[in-house]
Amino acid sequence: MSLDYAALAARAEALLSRFGAASTLRKSLATGGTPWNPEPGAVHHDIAVSAVETDNRRAEAESGTRAKRRLLVAGATPEVGDRIAFGLSAAEAEARAATGAAAWARIQSVTPIQPAGVALLHEVELEI
């Protein structure tokens, strides 16, 4: 008997949608450079995703203590350098950013959770 990983991915996304926080993933689109060396520009694309916080702790680093924040994300494939507004819609994040409050966090690393090569979720570590 084999597992239906596509069905597991759909179930994982449904569970995150139900129990996670509605969030926004912002992808910067290349507006310059060459096809083999694109340069990200000011144009971006916002995607509604679901996320749940899995880790928010301080870790000792060589230069001192730094905070780490990790999320599980479903609904889109995040990449290093993308930004995420955890628990906020794009409009809410923009309104918050306009007041000077932190809304968008840069994704520092992405680890897909992919048994048998099928990505179910993505774990992201954020810069704080």
pLDDT higher than 70, residue 99: yes
Please give the mean pLDDT across all residues of the chain: 84
pLDDT at 69: 87
3-state DSSP of the chain: CCCCHHHHHHHHHHHHHHHCEEEEEEEEEEEEEECCEEEEEEEEEEEEEEEEEEEEEEEEECCEEEEEEEEEEECCCCCCCCEEECCCCHHHHHHHHHCCCCCCEEEEEEEEECHHHCCCEEEEEECC
64 against 98, higher pLDDT? 98
pLDDT higher than 70, residue 92: yes
pLDDT higher than 90, residue 128: no
